[in-house]
A and B are shown apart, each in its own frame.
Chain A
Amino acid sequence: MRGLERYLRMEKFPHIWCPGCGNGIVLGSLLRAIKKLDLNQDRAVIVGGIGCSSRAVGYLDFNTLHTTHGRALAYATGIKMARPELNVIVITGDGDATAIGGNHFIHAARRNIDLTVLLFNNNIYGMTGGQFSPMTPVHKKATTAPYGVIEPNFDIAELARVAGASYVGRSTTYHSGLLSELIVEGIKNRGFSLIEAITACPTAYGRRNSMKGGLEMLLWQKENAVLVQKAEKMDSNELAGKIIIGRLHSQASPEYTAVYQQLVDGISQKTGGGMIAPLKGT
């Protein structure tokens, strides 16, 4: 926490998260990344959706926006378009980003607009009490899947890559240092960046799936995460059930607000301006 207080609205604590929840660790990784980059708090906007993770924006001393469920990326798109010079970071959860917000997610990635998305993946809908999300693994139990989930789950990192994101990373709360490094890279990337943070929800997910408490879930992450460099040398049998972490994808590609500016500049050259003087208000 040392040196990070300046980024927090300290008077808003204690936070709402349950004992054993990993969200605080993800938030810590974000703040360390922001500190490392020395981001100007007045020039950064942090946008959240709805759900446990998205409530983080209330604790952060930035321009913060807590939006409607699933729509964080669409709100963030408007902010970034209006003021491309701002750093816009989006905090969202697996339910928020991949179910109700799934369409906004693939289109924001497709545009490669310069947003950094920190997706807290706790494999469950926490705030509504433990219903399954599109990222709850098959056969796992949830209040709305008492016999186990029968739907295959999303690989959000892969989805982001094929949709057009220029940076994709994944880590866990056990590997919080790596998580912070990935966030730094994501913020630096000029384009759409997704960082998936695997985080534990002992209350709504672990409890129903024989994972005991928060500590056991952290240790599970330690045992089941494989660094991408190591994974490249492993076969599919060895990788079954493992989580690949690290920088999964990084490829520079045209960024939306920059392309838009080029379009504007191109029109001005062709037409010799066409700029209408701003009107005086009353």
Chain B
Amino acid sequence: MSTEGITKGIEGARERWVRTGGVELCVAELGDPTQPTVLLVHGYPDSKEVWSQVAERLADRFHVVLYDVRGHGRSTAPQPLRGGFTLEKLTDDFVAVADAVSPDKPVHLVGHDWGSVQAWEFVTVKRTEGRIASFTSMSGPSLDHFGHWIKKRMTRPTPRKVGQLLGQGAKSWYVYMLHTPVLPELAWRGPLGKQWPKILQRMEKVPAGDYPTSSLPSDAAHGAWLYRDNVRARMRRPRTDAYAHAPVQLITPSGDIFLSERLYDELELWAPELVRRSIPAKHWVPRTRPDQLAAWITDFVTSNEDGVPTNDSVATGKHADRFGGQLVLITGAGSGIGRATAFAFAEAGARVVAVDRDAESAARTAEMSRLVGAPEAWGETVDVSDEQAMEKLAEKVAREYGIVDVLVNNAGIGLSGSFLDTTSEDWKKVLDVNLWGVIHGCRLFGKQMAERGQGGHIVNTASAAAYQPSKALPAYSTSKAAVLMLSECLRAELAGQGIGVSAICPGLVNTNITATSHFAGVDAEEEKRRQKKASRLYGLRNYPPEKVADAILRAVVKNQAVVPVTPEARGAHLMSRFTPKALRAIARLEPPL
């Protein structure tokens, strides 16, 4: 048990003690008490400080309340410990805190890990009905739902269900460990407690700071009773009436090593008003992704305060759970693949910055993005090859819209013609846009992403020409090959910071790049004729840019490295690996222009 002075507490928080059921709970409050109350419940082996960064971000909009669960942080522990941590008693604690901080209005609950496990109990028992306005759950299922989940898979074991059971069973190793007497306490008070911060930093990339607090060994030792008092009982006899009486937002970190995403299959049956979110991160999201959590909590709380049904305010497009509310910047968004990508992200509920050197078409993309689901969208006019302009853009975006979560470096120009016909001017132009544009984008926005330290993703539009030599496109192919290599190097560099990098290699796609391509070594009239012919060829192929946009979103969700899109791009990619000689022979053919 910690005493005052050992933990630093949360900056600017007003603290008070709430007495209930023989324990004293340490309650911290931030923000304006007249605003809606958001109550954050921490998990195991944490104390309320795990929330400090999220709380800070929520405090200017809401009345934020945190408390140390009994036996954790600065709250006192029950005597005796056995039987003192049942979900019933934890519910008593919650009601006492809620009554103290928001006596006449329901509170918005947010729980992480065991905080979420408890909160599921709060939100599904009768006596708290009307006290909870909404519940955001992360990394902590209801024990009752979990019990039913296991039962369902045990009674009708198909190979898949057995696989799911074994998978989750393996992830839950620590639950069995915590059921052994005394040993866990000894470990936590001894070496494990000492090593824990380092383990967190290494495994979870949790940045150093005010967490974990020095009360960790005793928190962890006491908290073992959370498992011992509840898990076996609920697994054996899960409640059958565990239906949520408030809207639920479920946030699932895809890299959680303790919980599989499968656990939440069919959760709609228990929580009718369910909004799903997924985030590419590990277990300790309150520490590693505070911006994203604060944004989603704010959205969810606000929409439930306004009385707007949440399902309407959530975009319905593909991957909406992943991109809802995120900030996506796309260059070359005035037409073709860039524009289609902007629309696809907009349908997924992302906020879109559409960048193009043509102001009118950038504005048009932004306007249409808003119509298909983007909560906000802006058009920006920049030539990506202009370093200073890009710097200004990066500053402006960071200042006015925020740090970009997904960057799509898509702007590019076409150039065709033999090497000997290609002038150094031509070379300069195509490299300036196709390669330097990507370099500027990655450098400026990638740096912002890395500095924020909360992950992100960069997509670079390369081309099938990046690995398919051709005597018709020496300069273009060279620029795109460079983009491909740049992406792969950057991917290696940024992997450690949770930032993914993907290179997209579309192939022949029906966009206006053919109509604006420069053909070196021919006069204007011949150039026009070739542009027309190329456009017609691409039109006949008629591969829609929308499909490339889908591939881009999928690449971000799955964090794919290199994505050839059209069948011919995939074929060429295979050939470049297994039969490069054949590809070189094809390169010698005269293209039909």
The reply to whether chain A is a binding partner of chain B is no
